[in-house]
Amino acid sequence: MTQMNAEPMNPVPASSDAVTLKVTGLRTHFRIGSTIAKAVDDVDLTVRQGKTLAVVGESGSGKSVTSLSIMRLLAPSARIVDGTMTFKRRDGSVVDLARANNRVMRKIRGGEIAMIFQEPMTSLNPLYTVGDQIIEMIRLHETISRADARSRARRMLELVEIASPEQRLDDYPHSMSGGMRQRVMIALALACDPFLLIADEPTTALDVTIQAQILELLRRLQHEMGMSILFVTHNLGVVAEIADDVAVMYAGKVVEQAPVRSLFKMPRHPYTKGLIACIPDPARDRDETGRRRLLSPIPGSVPSVTNLPRGCAYADRCPLTVDRCRVESPPLIAVETLHSTRCWRHEDV
C-alpha cells in the first residue's frame, strides 16, 4: 500500500510541558424524570501536546460521556453543570469548551478537534460516497474548490493506506469492509488537520489483526502530524500499545491516573489492579505444572450513577474495603510524581 512522504501537517514539536487540552472539575449530569444521573463527576484530565491520553473503564464508567462533553455533543437530557475544558487552538489562543458559544464550537468541531467512533457504519452516511463525505468536511471548514477538496480527499485515503484511493472515493460505505470503513473515518477526521483527535472505542468492532493495523496507523499518523489523541477504551491491552498517559474511570470519576509505564508497573487502585489481572498473559496464567489458570474477573458490577453509595463507589467490589471506605469518598491522592489514585488504602494495593 502507498504511503505519503509528506511533511507533518502540524510541524509543532511535541513537548511534555505543552498541553493541548486540560479538563478540570468536569461534571456532566443527565436528568431522567425527577432523577439526576451524575454520569461524569469532578473529572480532571490533561492531554499533552503530541501525546496520547487513554481513558479506560467498564461500560457505564463515564468515559464516553466525557468525550462527548468535550465535543459538546451531549443528548438534550444532559448538561455540563460545572468545570472547565481549556483547549489550545490552532492560532495559539485558548478557549473554554464548556462555555464556548455554538458558532465557536462549529468551527472547532471537525476542524481543530475531530472524533472517530466505534462503529463507522453508523457514522458514515450510506447515501453518499466516501469521497463526497470527506469533501464536504473539508469545504465546511475551508474556502477551497471542489476539485482541490477532492484531490485532498484522495491524499487522505492514501495517507490511511487505502489501496486505489482514486477509485475508492466513488465507493459507498456498504461496499467496504469494517477495517476499511474505519480507515475512512480516520481520513475524514484528519482531513482538516486537527490539533486533537478523540477516538471513542475505534477498534472494538474489529478483529484482532485489523485492530493492530488501526493502532499502528494511528501511531504513525500522530508522529507525522504532531496531533494529540484522547483514546477512549475499555481494553487495557490496547492502552499498553498506544498510550503515553492513562486515566482510569469508575462510576463517573477518575480513580487513578499515571504515565502508562507507571500504571502497569505499580497500579495503586484495586480497580486498576483488577483490570490488569483480566488481561490474558500466557506467562502469568499458567501454574507451576504448566496448566492454564482461569482469569480473575472483578466481581459485581458498576453501581448506577443515579444511586451511588455514600463512600467509595468501588467499596462493594473491593477486596481491601474497610469501614472508612463506606462512609468517606477518597479524593485523588498523589502517590508519586504524575501518579495519583482515589483510594484510602493505596499503599496496600
Kindly report, residue by residue over 102-112, the tens digit of the pLDDT. Answer: 999 999 998 99
CA-based radius of gyration for the chain: 21
pLDDT: which is higher, 301 or 53:
53
> Considering all CA atoms of the chain, what is the largest pairwise distance in Å, rounded to the nearest integer?
68
Give residue 14's pLDDT: 43
CA 247 to CA 245: how far, in whole Å? 7
Task: Quote the DSSP letter at residue 286.
Answer: B
Would you mind telling me the total number of residues written for the chain in this entry?
349
Q: What is the mean pLDDT of residues 194-215?
A: 88
Give residue 283's pLDDT: 65
Query: The pTM is what?
Result: 0.89
Cβ(337)–Cβ(266) under 8 Å? no
Within 10 A of 72 (CB to CB), how many other CB atoms are there?
18
